[in-house]
Amino acid sequence: MLAVVQQTLGITAPVFAMLFLGVALKRVGWIDAAFINTASALVFRGTMPTLMFLGIIKADLQTALRPALLGYFVLATLACFLLIWGWAIWRCPKVDRGIYVQGAFRGNNGIVGLALATSLYGDYGLSVGSVLAGLVILCYNVLAAMILAIYSQDAKSDPWAICRSILRNPLIIGVVAAMPFAYWQVPLPDWLMTSGQYFAQMTLPLALICIGGTLTLATLRASSGIALSSSLMKMVWQPLLATLGAWLCGFRDADLAILFLYFASPTAAASFVMARAYNGNHQLAAVIVVITTLAAVLTINVGLLLLQWAGWI
């Protein structure tokens, strides 16, 4: 278990390092609001869609396809999304409702979930986790685009407008565009893949620096109540309910552990980028990312310990 704790810290510590770098750069005046706006737009429209495109085309969909596991993940994600949305309607101000829901269900599976699955289960964790990550990207981005469009102050909330918002979302376009390449294993030129990787590798550092640049003590105080509630949903209630449901459906050992890791991952930095793109409360989104990333060191390891103690993994 100590090795897993060290692995989790090894993944989350660089995230915090980039967040604090963003805070420091804003404090000394090396970055400003204009930079954050431009960099966030670049991530949303360019580097993150490229990262998702490359992540999916590298996955071996035909080898690691597990219909039962993938199907359960989609249904559990949708069920958790609806439960969180219902709770938000009751407990959260309308203006922040989209940000609350997105922060409470959208996990950082491409970084935390996949890395831990690979660390614990080797090639099996990598193959199953990669295919699951592709499905995660599609599910999360469709649901996030929908909920943000519904509660956006600038966008129309009629069904056709919401559909157009989803179809025009660069992250979803990147996912859909990658699917034919992944399914038929269409090779791309090496120079193009290398150039794409250079471009995509800017995604996480830029997004985290922008998050850090928006954090202030006033922001933390103003957002603390709603952010804590959303973070508890993400790090405690969602993994608890979804993992228990997976056990009741018969999942055990590596499959159950991988599902747990994906449901228990902290909120993705992409939630901040999308909040800015939809003119939502991006400061609240930033605080949720920070709280859930910090909590992940404790909740993921406690969850794995309990699953091992129960003999389920």
| pLDDT single digits (tens) 99-115 | 999 999 999 887 788 88
Tokens 């565009």, located at residue: 177
Q: Quick one: pLDDT at residue 210? A: 92
Condensed to tens digits (0 to 9), the pLDDT of residues 37-66 reads 999 999 999 998 898 788 778 766 665 668
pLDDT at 295 over 80: yes
Task: Note the pLDDT of residue 170.
Answer: 87
Is 33 buried (19+), middle (13-18) or exposed (0-12) by CB count in 10 A? Answer: exposed
Distance in angstroms (rounded) separating the CA atoms of residues 84 and 148: 14
Q: Which of 35-49, 77-91, 99-113, 166-180 has the lowest mean pLDDT?
A: 166-180
Whether 267 contacts 289, CB under 8 Å: yes
Flag whether pLDDT at 259 surpasses 70. Answer: yes
Interval 229-241 mean pLDDT:
96
Which region holds residue 146: left if phi is over 0, alpha if psi is between -120 and 50, else beta?
alpha
Cβ atoms of 290 and 103 closer than 8 Å: no
Residue 156 has pLDDT above 60, yes or no: no
Burial of 202 (0-12, 13-18, 19+ CB in 10 A): middle
* CATH 1.20.1530.20 assigned to 2-308: yes
Helices (H), the chain: 2-28, 33-42, 48-57, 67-91, 97-105, 114-151, 159-167, 170-183, 190-200, 203-214, 217-232, 238-248, 253-264, 270-277, 282-309
State the average pLDDT over residues 206-212. Answer: 91
312: exposed, middle or buried (Cβ count in 10 Å: 0-12, 13-18, 19+): middle
More confident residue, 122 or 265: 265
Residues of the chain with pLDDT > 70, as a percent, come to: 95
Residues in the chain: 313
Rounded to an integer, what is the distance from CA 141 to the centroid of its chain?
A: 9
Beta bridge partners of 107: 267
Phi and psi for 107 in degrees, rounded to 5? -95, 160
Place of tokens 């940000």: 99
Of residues 140 and 161, more confidence is placed in 140
Of the ranges 105-119, 150-164, 236-250, the best mean pLDDT one: 236-250
